[in-house]
Structures are given as structure tokens and as C-alpha cells.
Chain A
Amino acid sequence: MTQNDAFISIQNVNKYFGKFHAINDVSIDIKHGEFFSLLGSSGCGKTTLLRMLAGFENPTSGEIYIDGQPMSGVPPHHRPVNMVFQSYAIFPHLNVRDNIAYGLRKQKLPRAQRDALVDEMLDLIKLPDYGDHKANQLSGGQRQRIALARSLILRPKVLLLDEPLGALDKQLREQMQLELRALQKTVGITFVFVTHDQEEALTLSDRMAVMSNGRDLQVDTPTRLYESPINREVASFIGTMNFFDGRVKALTNGGAEIEAVGLGNLCTSNIPPNLKPGQSVCVAIRPEKLSLSRDAQSGFNQVKGRLDNAAYLGERSHYYVSIEGVSKPVAVSVQNRQRANGNGENQCPVWLSWEDNAFVVLGNG
């Protein structure tokens, strides 16, 4: 087995629920101290994978190693991981202190030392005066922090978090994201974080895996996932993406020249390996990498189109532009520097331009 420097190694794991193939040959390596996210749409198997790490489900085949140890047959209470549940699972019959101290029973610490540890945790999660509160008298955000403290007090090697911020409002969620990230840096524990919120995954993670229908599509850093998705599924899952059909005209030094339908020729170095001249491919570009203007620019890659309509999104707007030969209108993102004033004039002719390397060539067509 290649152990390399992976702290958690998920190797060819499959999971069936009856006939349903919930996890399909997933292999992921997670490094020590990493903030790793699992991103995927609802029902794609994120929770199932996390529960296999925690020991609540057994893989049908494949093996999970944590810190070099194979985990099959190791029950949850003997694994060096702790989990923060989607529902928090705070013990409702205990107060905050007793919730946090729950896992310390086996260590048989003297009372004073135990209390000191709990106080330390209460400070860490910024709830120092809440020790005697009943757990069910707390807000969602407070419960989430207690669930965290309850796990962190045991100094686990890995902390598993199942959509811990899913139930919170946007403001609290952003605040908790910052706190989580800071916390992870302070305590230096490996975090495996499940979310279906792509923005959250992009902001928080060192690396992340995009999952779909029980498979891991791509495991990479947020930047690379966003800038160089390996296929159309990943590209359309994260952010907005415009797709065009094309054909490889020629391979250049470290890049390729593509003839794209409706766009003409374009050059990019964002190409998958094993590209061959003449191969038909799919090229893609993010809305913010296109710029929009009334008049033709000189010296740029550009194409003429017609403004279809616009969507106002607050700090920016998306304009949809039809280009001859391209079936779907192309989305262009424009920062709203000035106060927006309505939808702009529809149907007026516009020019779209882009810089070299703004396009990505996606694998397998």
C-alpha cells in the first residue's frame, strides 16, 4: 500500500445499501493538518463517506487508513476521530459543561483539572458564561460551537464536520466560517468538512473533493478546481461556466490552438494531458473572464453578439449575450461600479473579449 504522507487514506472504497451503490470506488488521500472539504449535491454520498470515517457504516469493499492504521472492524468509540453531526446531537439532558466534558470520563482526571479543561474550551468557543445553561436553551450557532468543543476537548487527530453551518443564517455562517478556519489553524487538527455550499468550500478548504453520484470527480485545491476543472460536470458544479464545442487545431508550446464554434480561434495553455490535433473538445470560460463593450476593441480576442437580458446580483450583474452559432446565451459578469439603472437596453449589439489563457479545455469532450 502506498502510504506516502497521507494521514487519512481512503482506498477504493465502495458502499452498497442493498442494491443501491452509494459510494462508487472512491480513493482520497488527506494530509495531516489539512482543511479538507467534501463538496457535492444532496444525496451524492458525502454523509455516507463521513460516517464510514467515523465508523458508523462499514465499507462494502476497500479500506480506510487513519494515521497508518486500517480502520475496518474498529468501532466508533475506538477511532481517533470525532464528528460534529449535521444536527449537532447535543445531549439535551446535560448542561453545557457536562456536554463538553462528556468524553473525558475514561481519562479519570481529577475534578479541578477537568474543570480547567472545560473552562479552556468555553473560552475557545467564546461562550465563557454559558457553562450552566441547559443545552436546549441555546441558539443554533451556540449549539454548533458546543458540539465542536465537545469533540475538540478530546484532542482528536481528525475532526469530521457534517454540514455544521447548514442551518445558520448567512451572516452567522460567514462569522462561523472565519472562526472555524482560525480554530483549525490554532489547534492544528485535520478537518474533514462536508458541505453542499460551493462558496463555503472554496473559502475554507486547503483542498477539496467534488463528488457526484457516489464518485469523487476531482480532488484539488480550490483555485485549481475553479480555474482548471477536469470535466464538464465539475466545471458546471462550481460557479457559472460557459461551454463551447470546439476542435483542436494545433498543439503549441505547452498549450493548444482551438477552433471554437461561434468564437473562432483561441489559444490557451489550460489543457488536459493527451490532447491530439483534430480531436473535438469542449472549451469553457467563466463569466468574469469575459468583458463586455459597445464597440470593437483593437488587438483583443473578441466576438460580436447581441445583448439578450441581464440579471442583477448586487455587487455584480450577469449579462446574457447571444452569439451566432452558439445555442445558449453566454453569461458575462460585470462589476457594478456605478449604481445600476435598470436592465440596460436589450437586443443592442455588443462585443465580448477575453485574454489569452482565459479558456479551459475540458477532458473527454
Chain B
Amino acid sequence: MSRHSYIKRPNRPLQFYAALFLVVLYLPVLFLPLFSFNTSIYVKFPLTGFTFQWYVELMDREPVWAALMNSLRVGITTSIISTGFGVFAAKAITRYRLPGKGPLIGFIMLPLVVPGIIFGVALLVLISRLGIQLSLVTVTVGHVIVCLPFAIATMIPRFEGFDPSVEEASADLGENAWWTFWRVTFPMVFPGILASLLLTFTVSFDEFIMAFFLSGTDPTLPMYIWSQLRFPKEFPSILALASIILVVSFALVFLGQWLNRDTQATDLNSE
């Protein structure tokens, strides 16, 4: 017991609560992979047998591959744009004395709390007013708005985690702002950039509402899934697809968190 400091002592009720929380959160989700390996096309107990059939079927479907490519293109573009904006926004927020900084941050973080449907409709109205064709480009625009808060929230701790005098030291040693950014700031926030890329990619890849309002004829993967829900025959394959997306999303987000872990680690070491 004495190994643990007061604050790090194990706390039984809290552990129980955490376990319960995780079960309630993830148990329903776990039904997806479970039934995706079931031989029956109906989602009900008892399970009838184990099969890879639905996964194999999935591989043969042309539209699935097309939708995957669309999602990848949107996701990669979105993650690069929103992370790029996020880096500079986070730098501005943490480094400069901005008037009205609080409200500004609140405004940037708004998409996290405003229902997607409102943003979706608003953007749709705006875009059709401007006479722009709905396409993957408009989906990307919507996704950048959704992803920006995630990118900024990931980057801000990275910037707050390092001493601004390190940047001043670079200027003092003769480097202008541009070189200082590339030689000091960028390498120091790089793990955060990777984490932000992975996180925003995942958010975009899984996003449905914006895509629903803003996509033209090319569906993203979630759009494709939605369109197939009408056909009971297709359902097990959709479960298989959803399971794959689930696993990949988890993996990406965890990878991102792991890459970005040493902000906390160094905080602890410096004590």
C-alpha cells in the first residue's frame, strides 16, 4: 500500500464504476462483430454457426471499394487541411495575447456541441445558394469544420507543454520566424500533428450527417452502409463492413494517443 501516493491509491467504487461505464458503452457495439461471423442473415439469438462468408462477399462488391476510395480521399484531405489549420490556430491561441481569446476558443469549439444536422443544413443552404455542385469537395468542406475542433484540441496541449522561451532562444541564435518554426516548433509538436492527423482522419472516415447532406453522387462508406440498410439480404455484409471500420477506427485513435503520449510522460518526469 505504501507504494501508492494518496492520490494514486486504488479506489474500488471508482474501478467498478469505470468497468460498468465501459460495458454499457461498448456492449451494444460488440454485437456487430459477433453477428458478422454468424451464418444466419437474421440478427437474433441463438447463433447458428461461424463463417467468414460475409467478409468474403464484401470483397467482391465493386461499390464497396468505390465508397472506400471516396472515404479515403475525403478523410486524407480533411485530416491534412484541418490539422494544418489546427497547428496555426493552436499556436496563435497559446502564444499570442489575443483580445477576446476566450470567446474565440468557444467559437472554434462550437461544432463539437452544435448538432451536426444544423451545420449540415446550414452548409447545404449556403452551398446551393452559391450554386456549387455537391460533390466530395463539399463533403470535405463539411468535414474540415467538424474536424477542426478535434485538431485544435489535440494541438493546444502540445503547444502549452513547451516553454515559449525555446522559440525565443532560436530567434536569439539568429533564426527568423520561418526557420524557428521548422527547426524548433514543428519538431516539438510533431507527435501532436501525427495524433491530430489520425484522429481527424478517423472522425471524417466515420462521419455520416455532413456526408448525408453534402455528398453528390459519390457516396462515402457510411453513406453506402446507410443506403444498403434497406436490403435485409445485405445486412450481414454491412455488419462485416461496420466491424472492419470499428476495428480500424479504434486502432487509429489508439495509435494517435500512443504517439502523443509523452506530453504527459514528460510532465511526470519533470516533477
A contact set with B: CB distance below 8 Å: 54-56, 75-77, 81-83, 85-87, 89-93, 102-103, 105-106, 136, 147, 150-151, 154
Contact = CB atoms under 8 A, between A and B. Distances in A.
B168 A89 contact: yes
B166 interface: yes
A23 B85 CA distance: 38
B171 A76 contact: yes
Contacts, number: 63
Q: Which 6 A-B pairs have the closest CB atoms?
A: A103-B173, A89-B169, A89-B165, A76-B171, A93-B187, A85-B165
Given A85-B169, A91-B184, A93-B188, A106 B162 contact: no
A180 B143 CA distance: 57
B175 interface: yes
A154 B173 contact: yes
A85 B164 CA distance: 11
B128 to A, nearest CB: 48
B174 A54 contact: no
B40 interface: no
A164 B168 CA distance: 16
A151 B168 contact: no
Nearest to A82: B172
Contacts of A89: 163, 165-166, 168-169
A92 B262 CA distance: 12
A77 B181 CA distance: 14
B39 interface: no
18 contacts: A55-B171, A75-B176, A76-B172, A77-B176, A81-B172, A83-B169, A85-B169, A86-B165, A89-B166, A91-B166, A91-B184, A92-B166, A93-B184, A103-B173, A105-B175, A106-B174, A154-B173, A154-B174
B94 interface: no
B171 A91 contact: no
A105 B174 CA distance: 9
Interface range for B? 10 to 19
Interface in B176-206: 176, 179, 183-184, 187-188
Contacts of B172: 54, 76-77, 81-83, 151
B170 interface: yes
B232 to A, nearest CB: 56
A75 B171 CA distance: 9
> Chain B: interface secondary structure?
helix
A85 B173 CA distance: 12
A86 B188 CA distance: 20
B112 to A, nearest CB: 31
A136 B163 CA distance: 13
Given A77-B171, A91-B169, 9 more contacts: A54-B172, A77-B174, A81-B172, A85-B165, A87-B163, A89-B166, A147-B169, A150-B169, A150-B173
A55 B168 CA distance: 10
B199 to A, nearest CB: 22
Contacts of B162: 92
Nearest to B175: A77
Contacts of B163: 87, 89
B161 to A, nearest CB: 10
A81 B173 CA distance: 9
Nearest to B167: A89
A75 to B, nearest CB: 7
A300 B21 CA distance: 87
A77 B179 CA distance: 11
B170 to A, nearest CB: 7
B173 A151 contact: yes
A102 B162 CA distance: 18
Contacts of B166: 89-92
Contact of B165 (A77, A87, A106, A151): A87
Nearest to B163: A87
A82 B170 CA distance: 10
